[in-house]
Copies of this chain bind each other. A is one copy, B any other.
Amino acid sequence: MRNVYLDHAATTAVHPKVLESMLPYLQDKLGNPSSIYSSGREAKAAVETARAQVAALINAQPDEIIFTSGGTEADNLALTGVATALSQQGRHIITSRIEHHAVLHTAEELERKGFQVTYLPVDPDGLINPDLLEQALTPETIMVSIIFANNEIGTIEPIDRLAKIAKKHGVIFHTDAVQAVGNIPIDVEELNIDLLSLSGHKIYGPKGIGALYVRRGMNIKPLMQGGSQERKLRPGTENVPGIVGLGKAAELARIELPARSAHLTELRDYLIDGVLSSIAHVRLNGHRTLRLPGNANFSFEFIEGESLLLSLDMAGIAASSGSACTSGSLDPSHVLMAIGLSHEVAHGSLRLTLGRENNKEDVDYVLSVLPDIVGRLRAMSPLTPAKEA
C-alpha cells in the first residue's frame, strides 16, 4: 500500500540537511553556550549563527530573535509578555476568532487577569476585514495579535494592512506566523510587524524549538524566571541541537521558498480541482487563492471527520480534521464555526496539507481512494438524502 503523508500543517519531517547540522551537537560537541571554555564558546557561536539564519528568513536582525521551546511558547511569551509589560498603559487587546489555541487560550487567560479582549470575526473565506480592526481600536488598546495564515483553512490574512493600522495608532502588532513562515515570503520591516512567532517542526526543522521575533526596543517581560539566557527573556540551558537545526531549516526555507511554494501551489490546486470535480456535496473551506500553498480543507456533507480519517489511515493516507471527535473536545473547530459552517458540516471536515516530499502521484492516489471512502461512509449515514445514498 502507498503511504502518503498529508498532515504537514501538524508536523513536518526533519530535512536530512537539518539533521546533519544537528548531529555534531548531539554527539561530541557538548558545550553549554554560557560556559567560557572552548566547547562552550563553540556552542555559543553555533547558536548565534542559527540566530542570524532565522533572522534572515524574515528580514530581522539577529538580536531580535529569542529562541523558545516552540510556537506555543512564542505565542504565550508574546501575548503575556507584552500585556504584563504594558498593563499600565492600557488593558485592551485585539485578536481574532480564528487564532490557534496558543493565542486564543492565552487571550482568554489574560481576560481572567483583568484584560479586555476583542475577538475580530472573519468572513466566510476566513478573512479579517481591516476596517473592523480600525473600529475596534480604543485608547486602551496595547496590542493586536492576528494569525498570519490559518493552520486549518489556510487563509492568509491581510497582515500588511492590519499591521499598518496598528502602527498608525501606536499599538504593538504580533502575528502567529507558525504556518506562514517558510511557505510565503515574510519581511517584518516591510510589514511593520513588532512580534512574530515561528516553530521549527513546521518548516522541516526539529520539534521542541521555536522563536519569537521581538523588534528592538520593545518592552516585554519574560514568561519564566531563571538564568539570564536569551537576553533574560527566556531562561534555561539553550537547546543547542534544536537551535542549530532551526537555523538550518530557516536557511533552507529562505533559499528554497520560491521553489517550494510553486511546487505546493501546483499540487494543491490539482488536489482541490480533483476533489471538487469527483465528489458531490463538498465544499472548500478557506479562501480559494489567498491560501497557504500546501493547504486544502474540505467539508464532506453527511459524514463525520474522524471516520473519514480512520478510513484514509487504512488506505495509508495521514490527514487531519476539524471534527470534535479527533480533538477530544465536544465542539468542532472554532475556526470552522467562525467561517459560518453548521455543526454537521464542520464535523465532516478534512484537512490535507502538502509538503516538499509530496508529488503528483500522491495526489492521484488520494483522488483514487477518496470518492469510495466518502461514498461508503455516506451510505452508512442517516443524514444522507435517500437519492444520494
Contacts and interface: CB of A to CB of B under 8 A. Distances in A.
A192 interface: no
A318 interface: yes
Interface residues of A, number: 70
Contacts of A100: 226
Interface in A47-72: 69-72
A384 interface: no
A328 B38 CA distance: 18
Contacts of A19: 26-27
A235 to B, nearest CB: 5
A326 B213 CA distance: 27
A265 interface: no
A309 B11 CA distance: 42
A365 to B, nearest CB: 15
B102 A227 contact: yes
B37 A312 contact: yes
A69 B239 contact: yes
Contacts of A85: none
A225 B73 CA distance: 8
Contacts of A312: 37
A186 B75 CA distance: 36
A223 B225 contact: no
Given A13-B28, A19-B27, A106 B225 contact: yes
Interface string A100-123: 111011101100000000000000
A371 interface: no
A29 to B, nearest CB: 9
A306 interface: yes
B5 A105 contact: no
A225 B35 contact: no
A7 interface: yes
B224 A106 contact: yes
A333 interface: no
A239 B7 contact: no
A304 B310 CA distance: 65
Interface string A212-243: 00000000000111111000000111111110
A375 to B, nearest CB: 21
Nearest to A229: B72
A246 to B, nearest CB: 11
Nearest to A105: B225
A353 to B, nearest CB: 11
Contacts of A38: 313, 318
B30 A5 contact: yes
Interface of A: 5, 7, 10-14, 19, 22, 26-28, 30-32, 34-40, 69-73, 75-76, 100-102, 104-106, 108-109, 199, 201, 206-209, 223-228, 235-242, 306, 309-310, 312-313, 317-320, 326-329
21 contacts: A10-B32, A10-B40, A10-B237, A14-B27, A19-B27, A22-B26, A35-B320, A36-B309, A36-B326, A37-B313, A38-B313, A38-B318, A39-B318, A69-B69, A69-B236, A72-B236, A102-B227, A108-B225, A207-B239, A228-B328, A228-B329
